[in-house]
Amino acid sequence: MTVRVGPKGQVVVPKAIRDRLGIRPGDDVVVVEEAGEVRIRRPRSADDLLGMLGPAGGLDDLAAERRRERERDAAR
């Protein structure tokens, strides 16, 4: 199944797959890159959830990225 990446890098997981996996709006998922592939799955362990915070400084990087997105949107 092919889906399109939106302008903000977002991908919609098709409803049939969300239903089969029990993924609902607001649920956390794990995104993993392995051997040139991207996999999206439900968290399996507490380690998966801890990894969502990213490395030290990750929140600063995220805030900077969001700020750049807002500036880019405002310039349009």
Q: What is residue 54's predicted lDDT score, i.e. its pLDDT?
A: 56
pLDDT, tens digit (0-9, with 9 covering 90-100), for 16-53: 999 999 999 988 888 888 899 998 888 877 666 665 55
> Which residues have C-beta within 8 Å of that of residue 8, sequence separation ≥ 6?
69
Residue 61: pLDDT band (50, 70, 90) is confident
User: Does residue 57 carry a pLDDT above 60?
Assistant: no
The whole-angstrom separation of Cα 53 and Cα 73 is 26
Q: Per-domain residue ranges for the chain?
A: 15-75
Helix boundaries (H) for 1-76? 15-21, 46-50, 58-75
